[in-house]
Chains A and B, each alone.
Chain A
C-alpha cells in the first residue's frame, strides 16, 4: 500500500520569540523508514513532538493517514513514541510497562499479558518481564521502550534520537536491529537523529533540517551525492566546497560547488602531470597541509594554489602510514570527474 502516513503543511511552532519550526511541508509514505536529520536546535525534535501531539503548532496542519489531527491530544493519535531517555515507568515491571498502552485501551488482561510477553520476546528480552527498568542496561532499556511502543501496533512509530545514549558498538548493533525490525513489522518509522551516518545507513529517505526548515528531502544517495544546499553538503558528509575565484578556475564557471572527498584522486605533482587525466576531469594543484591516517583510508587536506582547501580521501590499498606521511608538505595534483561537481548555490 503506497499511501501517505503523515502530511505536514506549513507547520510552524514558535516558543516565545523563537521560531523552532519555521514552515515545514513534508509527506512521509506508508511503511517508510524516514529520518529527520539536523544539528541540535534545527527543529527536528519539535516536529516529532508536534506529530506526537506533545506540542501544538502555532499554525499549519498535521494529517495522519489522511485525518487531520492537528488539535487532537496525544492519546487520540495513532502514533507511539520511543523517547530519547526511554521514559520507562520506574515503578512498574517491564511487563507492566509494555502492557500499559493495552491496559489504558481496555484490552482484556489475559490478552495484554500475552501480547506484552510476545513483544518482549520480539526484542529478545523473554523472561525479563518481572524486572524493573533500573535493573537493565542502556541497550535493554532501549529495547523495552521499543516493545512498549510496538505492542500497540501503531501506524507510525516516532523515535527521538533513541540511540543517542548508547555507546558506539551497541549503537551500531541497534542500527541494524532497528532496520530489520522496521522491515519485519512494516510500520512507518520516523527517526530523529543528528548523526548523519546513522541517517544514511538506516533510512529510506532523509529530511535535512536547518534553522526550523527542511533544506532537502531525498534518499540517502540523493542527499549525499546531490546536496541541494551548502548546508546539506556540509552537514552530510565532510564539507568540501569550492567557492568564488577558485571555483571559477577549477570548475570553469562561478558558483559554490560540493565535491565528495572520496571522489577526488591525488597524484604527485608535477612529475606525472596530466597523465591519464581526460578532458572530462576537473583538476587542481596544491600543497598537502595535513595527512590524517585513518587505518583503512587516509585523509589529505590540500591547500589549493587557486585558494581554498579540499579534502581528499584515498583507500590505503597499497600504502602504509609511513608512505602517506611522506606526502605531508608535498606538491600534489587533484583530479576528479566533472560529474562529481555539484553546484549547491
Chain B
C-alpha cells in the first residue's frame, strides 16, 4: 500500500506515541528500582542496589511470590487438562450443544474480573463453607482456572483445526492403535500449542488481582495483592518498584516463548 509522505509520518508518530505510553512507565519503574531517593521521581537522584537487596530479604514479598507461583501452577494444571479435553471434544466430535459449549468456555475471558470475582465469592461461601472449606489457595486456583482454561482451549483448538485428520488416519492405516496414535502422532502435533497455552495461562494467573481479591480470603496473599497493598506505604515503595521490575523481566520470557510457539507452523501444515 502506498501512503503519502505526511500520512506516513503521522502514522509513525502515532505508533511511537502508543509504544511510549506503554513502555516509558515500565522503564521508569525499572530505573526507580535503582533510585537512591525513597520517593520515585525523575530524574533519579543517584543509583543504588540497596532496594534490590532489601527486596531479596523481604519475607512478605517472598511468601507472596511463592503463593503466586503455586496458584499459577495449580490453575495452569487444571486448565491444561480441561482445556485440552474440551478442545478435542469440540473439534473432533459432532454432538448436540457443541456450539454452545464452545461459546460458554470462551466467555469467561471476556467477563469483567469483578463479575467473576463477586459471583465466585458468593458461590464459594454458599456452597463450600458449609463443608468446612473456606476461601483460600484452593478457591484462588479454581477462580483463576475459569479464565485460564480459555487460553489453553483456544491454542489447542486452533492447532487441531490446522492439523489434518488424515495424519491420524494414516497412523491407523499403518497399524497403530488408538493409544499409539495419540502418543506418536496427535500429542507431538499439539505439544507446542499446549506449551504456549500453559505459558499464557501461567502469566494470566500470575498477575491476576481482581478475581484473586474476591476468592483469596484473608490468609492468602499473592504477589499482585502484596504489591497493591504495599505501594502506598512510603517505607515499602522502593521495594515495590523492585518487585515490579522483576515481574516485568519475568513476563518477557513466557510471552516471547508463547508467541514463537504459536506462530510455529512447521509442525502443523498439511503435508
Residues of A with Cβ closer than 8 Å to B? 52-54, 73-75, 79-81, 83-91, 100-101, 104-105, 133-134, 141, 148-149, 152
B164-A85 in contact (CB<8A): yes
Size band of the interface chain B makes with A: 20 to 34
Q: Which residue of B172, B189, B267 contacts A74 across the interface (Cβ within 8 Å)?
A: B172
Decide yes or no whether B170 CB sits under 8 A from chain A.
yes
Contact check, A91 vs B169: say whether CB atoms are below 8 A apart. no
When A87-B166, A91-B188, A100-B184 are in contact, do A80 and B173 touch as well, CB less than 8 Å?
A: yes
Q: Quick one: given A91-B188, A134-B271, are A81 and B170 in contact (CB under 8 Å)?
A: yes
Q: Which residue of B is nearest A160, CB measured?
A: B166
Query: In the complex, what's the smallest C-beta–C-beta distance from A6 to chain B, in angstroms?
Result: 16
Query: Inside 8 A of A88's CB, which chain B residues have their CB?
Result: 170, 271
Q: Produce 1/0 per residue, B201-242, CB < 8 A to A.
A: 000000000000000000000000000000000000000000
Q: For the complex formed, measure the closest distance between the CB of B166 and the CB atoms of chain A, giving whole angstroms.
A: 4
**CA distance in complex: A52, B170 (Å):** 10
| Cross-chain contact A91 with B174 (CB below 8 angstroms) | no
Neighbour of A134 across the interface among B164, B174, B180, B269, CB < 8 A: B269
Q: Are B172 and A148 in contact (CB under 8 A)?
A: no
Are A134 and B266 in contact, with the CB atoms below 8 A?
yes
User: Is residue B124 contacting chain A, with contact meaning CB distance below 8 A?
Assistant: no
In the complex, chain B residues whose CB is within 8 Å of the CB of A54 = 169, 172-173
Please give me the 10 A-B residue pairs with the lowest Cβ-Cβ distance, nearest first.
A101-B174, A87-B166, A87-B170, A74-B172, A104-B176, A133-B271, A75-B175, A81-B173, A104-B175, A91-B188
Residue among A83, A84, A91, A141 with the most chain B CB within 10 A?
A: A91
B269 to A90, Cβ gap below 8 A? yes
With beta carbons under 8 angstroms apart, the residue of A53, A90, A152 that contacts B174 is A152
Chain A residues closer than 8 Å to B271, beta-carbon distance: 85-88, 90, 133-134, 141
CB <8 Å contact, B175 and A105: yes
Please indicate the chain A residues that have their CB under 8 angstroms from the CB of B172 in the complex.
53-54, 73-75
- Which B residues are in CB contact (< 8 Å) with A91? 188-189, 267
A–B Cβ pairs within 8 angstroms, 18 of them? A52-B173, A54-B172, A73-B177, A83-B170, A85-B164, A85-B166, A85-B271, A86-B271, A87-B271, A88-B271, A89-B171, A90-B167, A91-B189, A100-B171, A100-B176, A104-B174, A134-B266, A134-B269
Whether B268 sits at the interface, judged by CB under 8 Å, is yes
A75 and B174 CA atoms in complex are apart in Å by 6
In the assembled complex, which residues on chain A have CB atoms less than 8 Å from the CB atom of B164? 85, 87
B270 touching A85, Cβ below 8 Å: yes
B154-190: CB near A (< 8 Å → 1, else 0) gives 0000000000101101111111110010001100110
Query: Which of A85, A88, A104, A134 has most chain B Cβ within 10 Å?
Result: A104
Known: A100-B184, A104-B180, A141-B271. Is A83-B169 also a contact (CB below 8 A)? yes
Chain A residues whose CB sits within 8 angstroms of the CB of B170 once the complex forms:
81, 83, 87-89
A106 to B62, CA, bound (A): 52
